[in-house]
Copies of this chain bind each other. A is one copy, B any other.
Amino acid sequence: MAASLDGFIARKDGSVDWLETSDRYAGGSTLDPKEVEAFLETIDCYVMGSRTYETALAFEAKGFGWAYGNKPTVVLTRRELTKVRDTVEFYSGDLAALFNGRLRSTFGSIWVVGGGAVVSECLRLGLADEVRYSIIPILIGEGIPFFGRLADDVALHLVDVKPYDTGVVELCYQVPK
């Protein structure tokens, strides 16, 4: 996931207008669309919270297309949400059961998109193998944090650091079992 240097994936109202500020400042797209596409190619299944889902729908409505292609996408929600495509499934049950009982046996590479509670819950339950985190060179002061609360500290193992010309830095960590 991409976040501001101060750790936010969106403003409090869910907007990501600051990505445009950052693009303008960089004189181009801070997130290289080709790199993003290449990364998404490696993903077999998406898991996300309802806010991320709604943000993706809003992007699509603006003409940017549906970001997750034809890949199976599980949206974690207890709310009644509009289902606009067959690849999307709404799920409100146990997270560990979803991963260990169903997804892991079917999909090699599962990406938990978004942040906050969903990411923390995956870390807390030991469901995450890897944390990929791209830092966009901007401070926005407040918003929806990528990382949420944890019951215990999680020490990570740095695997890779990739700085881009646009000023984005991609960090990749392994989560020890």
Interface residues of A (CB under 8 A from B): 5-7, 18, 21-22, 25, 120, 123, 131, 133, 135, 137-142, 145-158, 161, 163, 167-169, 171, 173, 176
> For the complex, what is the distance from the CA of A25 to the CA of B158, rounded to whole Å?
12
Q: Are B150 and A141 in contact (CB under 8 A)?
A: yes
Binding site secondary structure of chain A: mixed
Query: Which chain B residue lies CB-closest to A137?
Result: B156
Q: Are B149 and A5 in contact (CB under 8 A)?
A: no
Looking at the assembled complex, report how far the CB atom of A91 sits from the nearest CB atom of chain B, in whole angstroms.
25
Query: Which chain B residue lies CB-closest to A150?
Result: B141
Give the oligomeric copy count. Answer: 2
> For the complex, what is the distance from the CA of A153 to the CA of B167, rounded to whole Å?
16
Q: Pick the contact of A153 from B21, B133, B146, B161 — CB < 8 Å?
A: B21
Given contacts A141-B149, A158-B163, 6 further A-B contacts (CB under 8 A): A6-B145, A7-B7, A7-B145, A142-B150, A158-B169, A161-B161
> For the complex, what is the distance from the CA of A149 to the CA of B168, rounded to whole Å?
22
The 5 A-B residue pairs with the shortest CB-CB distance in the complex, in nearest-first order: A141-B150, A158-B167, A6-B147, A25-B155, A137-B156
Q: Are A137 and B5 in contact (CB under 8 A)?
A: no
22 of the cross-chain contacts (CB-CB < 8 Å) are A5-B133, A5-B173, A6-B7, A21-B153, A21-B155, A22-B155, A25-B155, A25-B176, A137-B157, A137-B158, A138-B153, A138-B154, A139-B147, A139-B150, A140-B153, A141-B149, A141-B150, A141-B153, A142-B149, A142-B150, A158-B169, A169-B169
Q: Are A148 and B153 in contact (CB under 8 A)?
A: no
Q: Are A120 and B141 in contact (CB under 8 A)?
A: yes
